[in-house]
Structure 1
Amino acid sequence: MELLALYCALFIGMGVYEYIKRKDFREFVLAGRRSGAGVVSLSIVASCVGASATIGMTGLAFKVGTPAFWWLGSGAAGLLLLSAFLAAKVRRANVYTLPDMAERFIAPPARKLMALIIIPAWASILAAQYIAAAKVAVSLSGMGYTTALIACAALITTYTVLGGQNSILKSDVVQYGFVGLGLLLALYYAGAASPLSLADVNLEFANEGFPLSKWTYFMLIVGGSYVVCPMLFGRLFSARDDKQARRGAYLSAAGIALSAVVIVCIGLYARGLAPAGTDADAILTRVIPDIMPAWARVALLFALLSTIVSSADSCLFTAGTVLEHDLLNGRKVGRCRLGMLAIGLGAVVIAQSGGSILSLLLAANDIYVCGVVAPMFVAILANGKRELNVRTMLLAIVAGGCLGIGAAYTGDKIYSYLGVGVSMALSLAALLQPRLATAR
């Protein structure tokens, strides 16, 4: 409990330190655009290796084997596309948020539409991170789940609201240090205790538990959320220049792929340590810690908490800045902080309502990817080369978003595929009618 208190004090201290500096909106949101490629890449990796890539992904590897790699592997593929085609243009846009880019590259109404999609989607992702953080905090402290949920939400919200982007970038570097150490310790002790040899594991692209249809879904929906992502764009906006942004994106793709390999191996080793019916979400929070010495167990649990906190703060910050800048049309730091508090409370309510980590993340990805990714991808590539039919682009956002809501509500992934397909088709159609377009 004392170590957990020190951990919380460290990051709240970072937030207080940044708060004392009395930042304007540009400094609060973009950290002065001073970040180099190393900081950008570490922050992206720390933010992406969150609940899904630790607790959720280890459980998936335990159940389906090596195809679980594609949960993060699809993200690495998406980051490669972002690095190659978009990163430099994103940084050169000199904007604050992704919806801000939508106004510049498509039309003013696109800014509001994308903000209305991003805020609830990222609140759902934040709720998933709160659930995961609470589970780890229970293991570290022995407190009740509800108490742990509120405590974790309070920690994440407090230092994010106080420090802004500077606080997040600095804390991400520290947190990923915890992550690297903890995951490597887990890999070592799981490998030593498990009767399973990785040499005997079938290296599969897909299998019965993870068919090609699921791989396609992960590549389109999960991978797509990395190609055009308000959270990742925020890191690129804070880069020193377009070269640092592009280099940082490439480095983060490599870091995420390596992290995925380590996490999958831990899940595979767990097959020799737990019976088949074990709760997948318990693999990294109970099964693996039980075979580690006390000091290593504590290091792993703090690593898990760090992966989750470093993702959650970015989700909260992204939703809060979009609310202030794009829905309220303001640049007031105080009101932005109040918006983050409101979103944080909303995420706690979502977390308390039930739902697994994976289900919340996939639902949020459905809504966001179907409504935002294709229109923004096409608009960024077309900027300066082709005019767009604004009405067709707006229709792409609305139609894709509605189909994404259908996928999230029903759980039927056919709506996800339709959403991406319709959104992309309409976005491409917007390029075919330049005479009807409004030049931007």
Structure 2
Amino acid sequence: MYSIMILLYLVVVVAIGVFFKTKVKNMEDFALAGRNLNTPVLLGTLFATYIGGATVVGWTGSFYSLGIDWWFSGVGALLGIVAATFLAEKFRDSEQFTVPDMLALRYNNSTRFVSSFMIIIGDIAIVTVQILAMTGILVSFTDIDRMPAMIISIISFTLISLFGGMKGVAFTDTLQAVLILAGLIAGVGFVFNLGGGPGEVFGGLPEGYFTPLTDVTVLGAIGMAIAAFGTTAVSQSMIFSRVFSAKDSKTAKRGLVLLIPLSLIGYGLVALVGFSGRSLLGGDITPDEVFATVITNLMPPFIGGVLIAVIIAAIVTSTNSILLSSSINLTRDFYQQLVKRELTSKEMMRAGQLSVVVFAALAFTLAVLMPDIVTAIVFAYTMYSASLLVPLYAGYLWKGATAAAGTSGVIGGGGTALLWYLLNEPFGIPSMIPAIIVSLALVIGVSKFTR
């Protein structure tokens, strides 16, 4: 039953994405849905991308093992959305395409190239991880072997972005946002019923499970919050490409404001799945396997199939967004800047579509040849977040930041994160913390000595 539900769902989602091929006429259609997303669609695509595969699967295991302490990450992520609302209207009014566009407007083209390079590397890394995650689900819950599962995964990711562009991505995201919310609500309701109600489920949790700072130190909690905040606040494929796609600046800001309570609901439902798993299954399950174990051990086939579709929906939406984002970065921030003639909108769109295929092929190759470097390539995403956070927000919230400071902040933040990671995060301090400190110091210090 799982096989039929999963494959049928993938066919439907890909078909919807490909349908939007007829709606994509130029670069603005491909990259930004013609800058015409209304509030419901904008909110749907933001939510579906935020509550992605990493959140549904990874955060379920984290809540399972750390209890309420994992909410420090949740608070950090929500504050990242709040921070983005301060730039939403300004960014939408700018009529740009990418975050490096905005950095180039505020600083110079050197900042554009450095930031775009880091974004592209991070995005390829995450697409590789998403291929492996989707492959694991298909292998675990269907009769499909590993290589065919990898091929199905990359084809599903690529077709929606390639043909539908942001229009296809946004509308399939909205459909999947409904499925994610409905699936999580149904799953939580069923598990609570199975466990005898919320009181019985919560009563079966370990002592101190809901006491803050039981399983993490104060420094660890701060690190979790800052890491989640930094990643959320600058995740271009999650926020700002949607902001640029809104029909106007008011819609852009309204979508982000509404995303805050909706994300809180999503995080809360994921937390309840993790808490229920700990109560009903005990504490001996590996965190990465908690969600799958809850499905196979506690759910009837239909509800389990819906929740598997939820994971697939989350992975597909996140990956579509990232593929589209990286292709636009390459097209706008390198190809368009380096080519020696004026490009038409249709030529730009073709270049963007070609970039989608190139990035998908590269990520697929990495997934096939080097699946054991997942931890390292995931870090690439953290490095790009660390490099962009301070220069982006300092540039648009502080008039004193200079061009040299912006470029220095990008390089210093990313470089510090990489060095700290290679040193195995001394003193248990996450890479994001020293990276932000160094980046902030460079932006302020260099600004004081340059014009």
The one-letter amino acid paired with 1:221 is: A
Q: CA deviation at 1:19?
A: 1.5
Query: Which of residues 392, 410, 415 in structure 1 aligns to 2:405?
Result: 392
Matches within 5 A, 1:77-116: 77-83=79-85, 85-116=86-117
Equivalent residue number for residue 236 of structure 2: 230
Q: Write out aligned runs for 1:378-417 (5 A).
A: 378-382=394-398, 386-412=399-425, 413=429, 415-417=431-433
Mean CA deviation greater in 69-78 or 315-324:
69-78
Residue 347 to residue 55, structure 1, CA distance change in 2 (3 Å): same
Secondary structure of the 1:206 match is coil
1:249, 1:355 → 2: CA distance?
36
Alpha-carbon offset, residue 105 of structure 1? 0.8
User: Match of 1:65?
Assistant: 67
CA–CA distance in 1 between the matches of 2:373 and 2:203?
32
- The 1:244–1:123 alpha-carbon spacing in structure 2 relative to 1, beyond 3 Å, is same
Residue 262 of structure 1 corresponds to which residue in structure 2?
Answer: 269
1:154-188: CA deviation from partner (whole Å, max 9, x where unpaired): 10111111110000110011111211121112212
Q: Which residue of 2 aligns with 1:137?
A: 138
Would the aligned equivalents of 1:270 and 1:288 in 2 still touch at CA under 8 Å?
no
Whole-angstrom distance in 2 between the partners of 1:267 and 1:22 = 41
Q: In structure 2, what is the Cα distance between the partners aligned to 1:189 and 1:410?
A: 45
Cα drift, residue 199 of structure 1:
5.3
Instruction: Output the CA distance in 2 between the equivalents of 1:414 and 1:266.
Output: 27
Mapped contact 1:128–1:356 kept (Cα < 8 A): no
Cα distance change of structure 1 residues 14 and 414 upon mapping to structure 2, 3 Å threshold:
closer
In structure 2, what residue type is equivalent to 1:347? A
1:334 alignment partner, SS class:
helix
Q: Which residue in the other structure is 1:27 paired with?
A: 29
CA 1:409–1:142 in 2, change beyond 3 Å: closer, same or farther? farther
Q: Residue 294 of structure 1: CA displacement?
A: 1.5
Give unpaired runs (5+ residues) of structure 1: none
Q: TM (normalized to structure 1)?
A: 0.91
Distance 1:41 1:205, change over 3 A: farther
CA offset at residue 424 of structure 1?
1.2
Matches within 5 A, 1:30-429: 30-83=32-85, 85-194=86-195, 197-198=201-202, 201=205, 202-208=209-215, 210-231=216-237, 232-329=239-336, 332-352=348-368, 353-355=370-372, 359=375, 363-382=379-398, 386-412=399-425, 413=429, 415-429=431-445
Distance 2:147 2:359 in 1: 18
Structure 2: 5+ residue runs without aligned partners?
A: 338-344
> Any conservation in 2 of the 1:73–1:260 contact (CA below 8 Å)?
no
In structure 2, relative to structure 1, the CA distance for the partners of 1:411 and 1:350 (3 Å cut) is farther
Deviation at 1:408, TM superposition (A): 4.1
Mapped partners of 2:226, 2:24: distance in 1: 41
Q: Decide whether aligned partners of structure 1 residues 216 and 249 sit closer, same or farther in structure 2, where only a CA change above 3 A counts.
A: same
Deviates more, 1:342-351 or 1:372-381: 342-351
User: Quick check: 400-409 or 262-271, which moved more?
Assistant: 400-409
Question: Contact 1:15–1:162 (CA<8 Å) still a contact in 2?
Answer: yes
1:185-214 Cα distance to aligned partner (Å, 9 max, x none): 221222233475225654233322x33223
SS for the counterpart of 1:278 is coil
Shift of 1:35: 1.3
Residues 229-284 of structure 1: CA distance to partner in whole angstroms, max 9, x if unpaired? 21110000011111111111111121111111111111111113334332222211
Q: Residues 429, 337 of structure 1: CA spacing in aligned structure 2 closer, same or farther, 3 A cutoff?
A: same
Residue 387 to residue 71, structure 1, CA distance change in 2 (3 Å): closer
Question: How many angstroms does 1:59 deviate by?
Answer: 0.8
Deviation at 1:362, TM superposition (A): 5.4
Distance 1:46 1:200 in 2: 32
Instruction: Measure, in 1, the Cα distance between the counterparts of 2:204 and 2:283.
Output: 18
Distance 1:27 1:153, change over 3 A: same
Q: Equivalents in 2 of 1:305, 1:414: separation in Å?
A: 29
Q: How big is each residue's C-alpha offset from its partner over 1:283-330, in whole Å with a ceiling of 9 and x where there is no partner? A: 112333322112111111111111111111111111111111112226
Residues of 2 paired with 1:360 and 1:40: CA distance?
A: 32
Per the alignment, do residues 307 and 200 of structure 1 end up closer, same or farther by CA in structure 2, a change over 3 Å counting?
same
Identity %: 20
Q: TM-score, normalised on structure 2?
A: 0.89
Whole-Å separation in 2 of the counterparts to 1:324 and 1:244: 26
Taking the aligned partners of 1:364 and 1:222, their CA distance within structure 2 comes to 15
Instruction: Write the letter of the residue equivalent to 1:167.
Output: G
Displacement of 1:364 after TM fit? 3.1
Q: Distance in 2 between matches of 1:260 and 1:328?
A: 39
Contact 1:115 1:323 in 2 (8 A): yes
1:222 aligned partner, one-letter code: A
User: Are the aligned partners of 1:97 and 1:322 in contact in 2 as well (CA < 8 Å)?
Assistant: yes
Deviation at 1:418, TM superposition (A): 1.8
Write the letter of the residue equivalent to 1:225: T
**CA 1:27–1:372: 2 relative to 1, 3 Å:** same
Structure 1 stretch displaced more, 42-51 or 62-71: 62-71
2: CA distance, partners of 1:372 / 1:162: 30
The 1:147/1:42 distance shift into structure 2, 3 A limit, reads same
Greater alpha carbon shift after TM alignment, 33-42 vs 232-241: 33-42
- The alignment yields a C-alpha RMSD, in angstroms, of 2.2
Question: In 1, are the aligned partners of 2:386 and 2:436 still within 8 Å (CA)?
Answer: yes
TM-aligned CA distance change 1:407 to 1:46, over 3 Å: farther
**What one-letter code is carried by the residue in structure 1 that aligns with 2:364?**
V
